[in-house]
Amino acid sequence: MQVDPATGVVITPGGFKIEQLGQYEWKITGPDGSSTRIWGDPHVAESDGGAWDFKKNSSFVLPDGTIINVNTKKFGDMTVTSGLDIINGNDRVQVTGIDAGKGQVGQVTGDGKLALEQYAANELLVMGETADDWSYSGKEVVGSEGGGDSLKLGSDLKRSGLAASDPMTNLSSLIPYLSQAGDLKPALNDVAQMLRVYDAQPQPFRLQDQLSR
């Protein structure tokens, strides 16, 4: 993971760019140019026209295994983005002060796994084949209700194959998420997805081999 010193844009191993546009506003852009802009309290604007909101601390998972942990801050009856914790493997970049301005982008540090263990996400959102599609519990997010209190879900969303250098990093990120989840069914669906990701990676052993014994 790299940080462009001139622009503050964070570039992930898979070529995704995370950039801060202004107060309460940031953007994820994929290698193909598709994008998702998060702004305001927080609204999600997909480049394909999709729009929805979220309200609580949430994790956005990219196809290369990068996890963007979004910290939110109360703003009247709503919330706004206050900071980002961007993690891939043990690489970590913190973006602070988005609620006060464009935000300050830190350097890459080596404490990503520790940060994942300490973060509690209320919603885990996984990118589809492009950077303007997102799923929750395997279903495409097509809208929201109550200013982001709940998500409206569509049909199953085809995902790009996750290829994290350390897939267990993704699994560990779900531990605090599970502990906070009121409805365990979607949380367990996400665990199952991450297990499939892990099983697809080159390993000294495969999970299915161990489970079949």
Domain assignment present for residue 32? The answer is yes
pLDDT higher than threshold 50 for residue 205 = no
Q: Give the residue-averaged pLDDT of 2-23.
A: 96
Domain assignment present for residue 208? The answer is no
Structure confidence by residue, pLDDT tens digits, 170-197: 454 454 445 444 455 555 555 555 554 4
Alpha carbons 144 and 51: distance in angstroms, whole number: 8
Between strands 123-127 and 134-136, the pairing is antiparallel
**So what's the pLDDT on residue 52?**
96
Domain count for the chain: 1
**So what's the pLDDT on residue 183?**
53
Domain assignment present for residue 209? The answer is no
Alpha carbons 176 and 29: distance in angstroms, whole number: 27
- % of the chain surpassing 90 pLDDT: 55
**So what's the pLDDT on residue 12?**
96
Q: How many CB atoms are closer than 10 A to CB 67?
A: 24
pLDDT higher than threshold 60 for residue 165 = no
**So what's the pLDDT on residue 210?**
33
- Please, are residues 82 and 64 in contact by the beta-carbon 8 Å criterion? no
Domain assignment present for residue 20? The answer is yes
Q: Give the residue-averaged pLDDT of 164-170.
A: 43
Question: Which residues share a beta bridge with 95?
Answer: 84, 105
Q: How far is CA 70 from CA 98, 120, 181, 211, 212, in A?
A: 11, 10, 17, 35, 38
- Please, are residues 64 and 103 in contact by the beta-carbon 8 Å criterion? no
Q: Give the residue-averaged pLDDT of 19-24.
A: 95
Query: What range does the domain containing 65 cover?
Result: 2-202
The C-alpha angle with vertex 53 and arms to 39 and 193, in degrees rounded to 5, equals 110
Amino acid at 110: G
Domain assignment present for residue 43? The answer is yes
Give the pTM. Answer: 0.77
The 3-state DSSP class for residue 180 equals: helix
Going 25 to 30 to 32 to 34, the CA torsion angle's sign is: negative
pLDDT higher than threshold 80 for residue 154 = yes
Q: Give the residue-averaged pLDDT of 65-73.
A: 92
Domain assignment present for residue 210? The answer is no
pLDDT band at 147 (very low <50, low <70, confident <90, very high): confident
Domain assignment present for residue 190? The answer is yes
Alpha carbons 104 and 48: distance in angstroms, whole number: 29
